[in-house]
Structure 1
Amino acid sequence: MDLKKKRVTIYDIARALNLTASTVSRSLNNNSRINEETRKQVIAKAREMNYRANSLASNLRKGKSQTIGIVVPRINQSFFSNVIAGIESITNEKNYNLIICQSNESHEKEIKCVNTLINQHVDCIVISVSAEGDDYTHLQNVIDHHIRLIQFDRVVEEIESLKVVNNNEQASREAVEHLIKAGYKRIALLAGPQNLDIFRDRKAGYLKALRANKVPVADELILDADSNNEHDAELIRSLLTLPNPPDAVFASRDDFLALGVLEVANDLGIKVPEQLGICGYSNENFTRITTPSLTTIDQYGVDMGKTIAQTYFELDDKNDETAIEIKTTSIKPKLIARASSQRK
């Protein structure tokens, strides 16, 4: 068997039937200008020669690739995989394809992903930016190429595009107020990288909850946790071994950080939730099966994904290739109170 056998094209069919390539193309597309006998002859020969239509080339001729590119920091986090699942549930109905890339929190890799998708002539790029970087020229480049840009979760405000986000400030405020109502008085914050607005908003919610409930703000209890999990244990240990340690921790970066708090607390012999309350963010799958189960915030990733896809198709239906619609859609997360913050 010749594994390098050349793909059959309409030109091969045309030569075999002594027809023009345009006649073959019209026949395969049921053009009314082609008589029925010729059309049947072309279709029969195409089947005989194992012809497969080049859908990408056809779509590009129509000005559409029917492909959406997605760039996320990490595919293996439940929130991002749920967003992708939500998008796919809508795009599948529309016969659209997805190209999924992950930046691994690298700004350089994110730029490469975006440039690759531009070169693939995708119709839309959906992105949640990485924790690194402060230059977003590559996002403006997407718009300059007349490709739809939809930012979600982690967005860059100065880039004018469609955005789908969570109300992070309100969700964080509710989480901290839940801890206060449970009787915790020294609540620490493990915040994500402050160059990203979602983590600044979560920190703002934390501070508002403390001030609204007249709980003192202690600077030594507010620590920025980057996205490097290797440093998490050391950071958490330094927090839990302070001379006056916290009696609760709001790991606002993500649930993996909250899990790290639980592991270090267990190692230090600190009882959860009796001596230490813990709340994470994202509602990762493991949070319900830890001992104790982890209080967290559900970001409704699947719903966010569906909203992203619906937003794209609603704009696409307007059939205006040059329109840039600037709109932000906010989805309210939900606090999931579990055993790690429930004092008896």
Structure 2
Amino acid sequence: MKKLKRVTIYDIAEKLNLNPSSVSRALNNGSNVSLSTRELILKTAEEMNYKVNSIAANLRTGHNQTIGVIVPRINQNFFANVIAGIEEVTYEKGYNLVICQSNESADREIKCVNTLANQHVSCIIISVSADFEDYAHLENIRKQGISLIQFDRVADELDTMKVVNDNEKVSMEAVCHMISEGYQRIALLEGPQNLSIFRQRKAGYLAALKKYKLPVIPELIMENAWTTELGAAATKHLLALAEPPDAIFASTSDFSALGVLEVADELGIQVPQQLGICGYSNESFTQITNPSITTIEQNSVLMGKTIAQLYFDELESGTSVAQNKLVNIQPELIIRNSTLKLSR
């Protein structure tokens, strides 16, 4: 199939026997073009299905009304809702979004950053991948004059605007809730410890044990169990211990918690009577599982709106006042049946 050629100002100029610069001025509401000529050019452009080359226009003006967003996984409720919150604000401001997925790969994240930079976006909003090791590629985009905002998973070393949750506080609250429901041997499914959000969630878990004077049992802490499959595998290992846990805090995600629930069901273990389960992120399925899963709502739509508003506040002020600003969106523990051992 033959690829159709994109109509340019030169095509319009050739058809009308005009100078391309006159066509350009007419299309961009410039001066020195008579009303009749302008109307003829606009009518011809419409007939020829001419579309503005936004990249070229942005290069001329030095500003691009496009923002790039890079997330680890688009199909997770948290990231989808953050994007929805960003889009709600950017749409009102007349900006477009370009959304990229790193798929938890540092190499892919770097490619996403370079692609967005080559498209001359005005801002890149990013939650770094699990494979994240250094931030040279993020430092580089700042040197190119592109605004950078980090959210949720952030490179602490970079002095940028950051929008995060209080992960440690809410994780401590979740584990304290489980202890108050009578659970004593609470296991932790933790994420990659190179990411500060997972270190914070682990710190909250440890703080809750300390508050209630419960011992820290290393064999109950499972590393990198943050997908449904990995959560299931970690649960099978934990439940095979001589002294298995009576509750599991899947601090990585609700997908991991779902893996726990699936294994419990497979082994005939009653939830919450014999095993308590708490997830993280308030994925939509947590309300309809049997039992429903206790989880943590990260207020992701609000986070997205806040991220976008930070950028526009900085843009409209004409300064970098908002740089190095940390905004904390308070998460909320959502208690459901999977941890109500005593309160049902």
What interval of TM-score do these two structures reach, taking the shorter chain for normalisation? Answer: over 0.9
Which stretch of structure 1 is more off in the superposition, 240-249 or 70-79?
240-249
CA gap of 1:246–1:226, structure 2 versus 1, over 3 A, is closer
Aligned twin of 1:72:
71
TM-score by length of 1: 0.94
Aligned residue identity for 2:335: A
Aligned residue identity for 2:330: K
Question: 1:264-279 alignment to 2 at 5 Å?
Answer: 264-279=263-278
SS in 1 for 2:94: coil
Are 2:51 and 1:52 aligned?
yes
> Distance between the aligned counterparts of 2:228 and 2:109, measured in 1?
19
Question: 1:173-192 alignment to 2 at 5 Å?
Answer: 173-192=172-191
CA gap of 1:49–1:272, structure 2 versus 1, over 3 A, is closer
> Distance between the aligned counterparts of 1:51 and 1:206, measured in 2?
59
Question: 1:146-161 alignment to 2 at 5 Å?
Answer: 146-161=145-160
Aligned twin of 1:244:
243
Aligned twin of 1:326:
324
SS in 1 for 2:317: coil
SS in 2 for 1:155: coil
CA gap of 1:100–1:338, structure 2 versus 1, over 3 A, is same
Say how many residue pairs are matched. 342
Are 2:210 and 1:211 aligned?
yes
> Distance between the aligned counterparts of 1:145 and 1:164, measured in 2?
22
CA gap of 1:276–1:5, structure 2 versus 1, over 3 A, is closer
> How far apart are 1:75 and its partner, in Å?
0.7
Deviations 1:178-227 (A, max 9, x none): 11111111111111111110000000011111111222222221221244
- Would you say the 8 A contact 1:248–1:276 is kept in 2? yes
- Would you say the 8 A contact 2:231–2:257 is kept in 1? no
CA gap of 1:48–1:101, structure 2 versus 1, over 3 A, is closer
> How far apart are 1:128 and its partner, in Å?
0.7
Deviations 1:215-241 (A, max 9, x none): 222222122124465433222111122
Aligned residue identity for 1:112: K
| RMSD over equivalenced CA pairs, Å | 1.8
- List alignment gaps of at least 5 residues for structure 2: none
Aligned residue identity for 1:333: P
> How far apart are 1:331 and its partner, in Å?
0.4
Aligned twin of 2:301:
302
- Would you say the 8 A contact 1:105–1:227 is kept in 2? no
Aligned twin of 2:192:
193
> How far apart are 1:14 and its partner, in Å?
2.5
SS in 2 for 1:92: helix
Question: 1:284-299 alignment to 2 at 5 Å?
Answer: 284-299=283-298
CA gap of 1:37–1:282, structure 2 versus 1, over 3 A, is same
Aligned twin of 1:262:
261
Q: In percent, how many aligned pairs have the same letter?
A: 60
Aligned twin of 2:27:
28
